[in-house]
Amino acid sequence: MNKGFPSIAPLLLGLALAALLASCATTTSPTGRRQLVGGYSQAQLDQLGAQAFAETKAKKPLSRDGQQNAYVQCVVNALVAELPQQYRGVRWETALFADNEPNAFALPGGKVGVNSGIFSVAKSQDQLAAVIGHEIGHVISRHHEERMTRQMGASSLLQIAGALAGDYGQLVTQGGGIVAQTGFLLPNSRTQESEADIVGQRLMAQAGFNPAQAVDLWQNMMAAGGARSPQWLSTHPDPANRIRELQRDIPALEPVYRQARAAGRTPRCG
pLDDT digits (tens, 9 = 90+) for 235-259: 556 778 889 999 999 999 999 999 9
**Residue 53, in any domain of the structure:** yes
pTM over 0.75: yes
**Residue 30, in any domain of the structure:** no
Average pLDDT over all residues of the chain = 79
**Residue 254, in any domain of the structure:** yes
Residue 58: count other Cβ atoms within 10 Å of its Cβ: 7
What is the domain count for the chain?
A: 1
**Residue 194, in any domain of the structure:** yes
* C-beta of residue 236 within 8 angstroms of C-beta of residue 190: yes
Stretch among 19-33, 102-116, 149-163 having the lowest mean pLDDT: 149-163
Beta-carbon contacts of residue 140 (< 8 Å; ≥ 6 apart):
30, 83, 84, 87, 199, 203
* pLDDT tens-digit map of 96-105: 999 999 999 9
**Residue 222, in any domain of the structure:** yes
* pLDDT tens-digit map of 193-220: 889 999 999 999 999 999 999 999 999 9
Domain that holds residue 234: 42-143+188-262
Out of 82, 93, 101, 135, which one is annotated catalytic? 135
* pLDDT tens-digit map of 147-168: 877 776 544 444 433 444 443 3
The CA distance from 85 to 88, in Å, is 5
Which bin fits 45, alpha (ψ -120 to 50), beta or left (φ > 0)?
alpha
Catalytic site includes residue 55: no
**Residue 216, in any domain of the structure:** yes
**Residue 31, in any domain of the structure:** no
**For position 187, what pLDDT does the model report?**
52
* pLDDT tens-digit map of 73-96: 999 999 999 999 989 889 999 999
pLDDT band at 190 (very low <50, low <70, confident <90, very high): confident
Of 185 and 212, more confident? 212
How many CA within 13 A on the CB side of residue 32?
0
**Residue 128, in any domain of the structure:** yes
Residues in the chain: 270
Beta-carbon contacts of residue 133 (< 8 Å; ≥ 6 apart):
79, 199, 200, 201, 203, 204, 207, 209, 214
| Of 191, 62, 216, the residue nearest 137 (C-alpha) | 191
Of 139 and 166, more confident? 139
**For position 236, what pLDDT does the model report?**
57
